[in-house]
Amino acid sequence: MRKKMMNIMPNNLIRTFRKYQDELEETAIEVFRSGWYILGSQLRDFEAEFASYNHVSHCVGLASGLDALWITFRMMGIGEGDEVIVQANTYIASVMGVTINGAVPVFVEPDEYFGIDADKIEEKITDKTKAVLAVHLYGIPCEMDKITEICRKHNLYLVEDCAQSHGAVYKGSMTGTFGDAGCFSFYPTKNLGAYGDGGAVITNNDDLAKSLRIFRNYGSQEHYKNIVVGANSRLDELQAGLLSVKLRHLDEINTERRIIAGRYDERIENPKFVLPRQRPGCSCVYHQYVIRSRDREMRDKLICYLDDRGIGTIIHYPIPPHLSEAYEYLGYQKGSLPITEHYADTILSIPMYNGYTEEEQEYVIKALNEF
C-alpha cells in the first residue's frame, strides 16, 4: 500500500497569485481608483515594457491570443482565396486565426521538437500561399533559421504564434521577433498569464502596429472617426496593469519552470516514455512538459495510473485541428497527417507550474518511474 497519497493538479494558478499577491492587489486597487479602465496609461506602459522585453519597436495589446492571430492576418490582407501554412499539431486557435478570415490552412507535420517541420514547408507552397504560421508549441522554439529563410525566399509573411513561448529564445533572439509579427496570448495558464483574457502582437513594422491599433478600437484612431470596419479587441487597464507586474517576474517564472523540467529530464528513467527535447541553441520556457508513450493504449493506461495516485495530467491536444468537427469542411481524413495524429495519441502533459514543490515533483517522478 502507498503510505501517502498526494493530490497534484496538472496546473495550479493560485500559487503564482499568492507569490505576487501584494503587488497584484496593489495594482488592481490602483486601477480601480484611477477611474480609467480602457485604453489608458496601464496599457501604454505594458505595451512599452513588453516591446522592450522582446527588443522590438511595437507591442499592441488586444483582447485575446486568437484576436492577435486573426487580426494580424486581416491586417496583412489575407483572406478568401489565400493559403496559410500552419503546423498541424497545434491548439485549434492557431488555425482559427487563419480561417476566420476565409483563408485556407495548409497543414504541415511537426518535427521531433513538436514545431513545424521546416523541411516540409516548401513542398506545400503554391501561388496562393501568403504566410507561414510557426507555433512555438509547449515553449519550444521552432527551427527559425530555416523558416525565416524560406519565407524570405518565397516572399511570404512570417507570423509566430507565441501563446506558449513568452521569453523563449532561439539562437539569441526572442521568439516572436523573427518575422512580421509575434502573436501572444495572456490566458491565465500561459507563462505570462493575466487574470482574465488578453493578448498582444509584437512587431517592428510601424504600419502593421498602426493598423492593429486602429482596428482594435472599432477602426478609429480619433473618437468617432471610423476609417475601417474594425473590432472591439482591447487589452483592458486592469489586465495590462496585472501583466506589468507579472512581466517583472517573467524571467523568474521561466527559470523555475526550467529547473522543474531539468529535474524531470534527469530523474525520469522509464524506457516506456520519451521525454521532450530542447532544440539545440534554444532556451525553452516549458509552457508544458510533454512526454510520449509508445502507443495510445499505454498512454491511456498511464493517465489512469497517475489519476489513481492523485496526479492530474492533460493531453495538449487530443484531437488535431484537421480532425475536429469544426474543420470537417476542409475534408481531411484520419491518416492524412500521421505524425500529428500519432502525437495526439501518445502525448501527455505532466504537472508543470510555478509553485510546484520539490516534494510534489519527487512524488510524480517516483510514480512515473514505477509505472
Ligand X SMILES: *Cc1c(COP(=O)(O)O)cnc(C)c1O
Applying CB under 6 A, which of residues 90, 313, 340, 349 lies at the interface with ligand X?
90
185 is a site residue for ligand X (CB under 6 A): yes
Other Cβ atoms within 10 Å of 155 Cβ, number: 8
Asked if 90 and 116 touch (Cβ cutoff 8 Å), the reply is: no
Out of 187, 215, 353, 356, which residue is the one contacting ligand X (CB under 6 A)? 187
Nearest partner of 146 among 305, 281, 10, 332, judged by Cα: 281
Is residue 132 a contact residue for ligand X (CB under 6 A)? no
Pull the grid cell for residue 164.
506558449
Q: CB of residue 49 vs ligand X: minimum separation in angstroms?
A: 19
Size of the site for ligand X (CB under 6 A): 15
- Which residue carries 510520449 as its cell? 292
All three cell numbers of 119: 523541411
CB under 6 A: which stretch of 14-22, 33-41, 85-93, 265-273 binds ligand X? 85-93
d(CA 334, CA 327): 13
Set of cell numbers at residue 287: 509552457
Site string for ligand X, 191-210 (x = CB under 6 A): ------x-x-----------
Interacting residue with ligand X among 42, 54, 64, 148 (CB under 6 A): 64
Q: Which of 42, 101, 164, 349 contacts ligand X by CB under 6 A?
A: 164
Residue 196 or 312 with smaller CB distance to ligand X: 196
- Cα distance from N-terminal residue to C-terminal residue, the chain: 15
The C-alpha atoms of residue 284 and residue 200 are separated, in whole angstroms, by 20
Stretch that binds ligand X, among 144-152, 161-169, 245-253, 300-308 (CB under 6 A): 161-169
Among all residues, whose Cβ is closest to ligand X? 65
Show contacts with ligand X in window 286-345 (CB under 6 A): none
The radius of gyration computed from the CA coordinates of the chain, to the nearest angstrom, equals 21
Q: Are 176 and 203 in contact (CB under 8 A)?
A: no
Q: Is 66 in the site for ligand X (CB under 6 A)?
A: yes
Contact region with ligand X (CB under 6 A), list: 52-60, 157-165, 210-218, 267-275: 157-165
Pick from 61, 65, 105, 179 the residue near ligand X by CB under 6 A.
65
Nearest alpha-carbon partner for 323 in 303, 344, 349, 299: 344
Q: Is 135 in the site for ligand X (CB under 6 A)?
A: yes
Only one of the segments 19-27, 158-166, 252-260, 362-370 lies at the binding site for ligand X (rule: CB under 6 A); that segment is: 158-166
Of 173 and 189, CB closest to ligand X: 189
Ordered strands of the 173-174 beta sheet: 173-174, 169-170, 282-283
Least CB distance to ligand X at residue 87 (A): 10
**Is 42 a binder of ligand X (CB under 6 A)?**
no
Alpha helices (H) in the chain, listed in sequence order: 13-19, 21-34, 41-53, 65-75, 92-99, 144-154, 206-215, 237-248, 250-267, 296-308, 338-346, 358-370
**Smallest separation (angstroms) from ligand X to the CB of 165:** 9
139 touches ligand X by CB under 6 A: no
Long-range Cβ contacts of 357-363 (<8 Å, 24+ apart): 358/263, 359/6, 360/6, 360/8, 361/260, 361/263, 361/264, 363/6, 363/8, 363/309, 363/311
Q: Could you say whether residue 163 binds ligand X (CB under 6 A)?
A: yes
Q: Which is nearer to ligand X, 64 or 313 (CB)?
A: 64
Q: In the bound complex, what is the minimum distance in angstroms from residue 12's beta carbon to ligand X?
A: 18
Considering the complex, state which of residue 76 and residue 365 has its C-beta at the smaller distance from ligand X: 76
Give yes or no for residue 110 binding ligand X (CB under 6 A).
Answer: no
By CB under 6 A, name the binding residues for ligand X. 64-66, 90-91, 93-94, 135, 161, 163-164, 185, 187, 197, 199
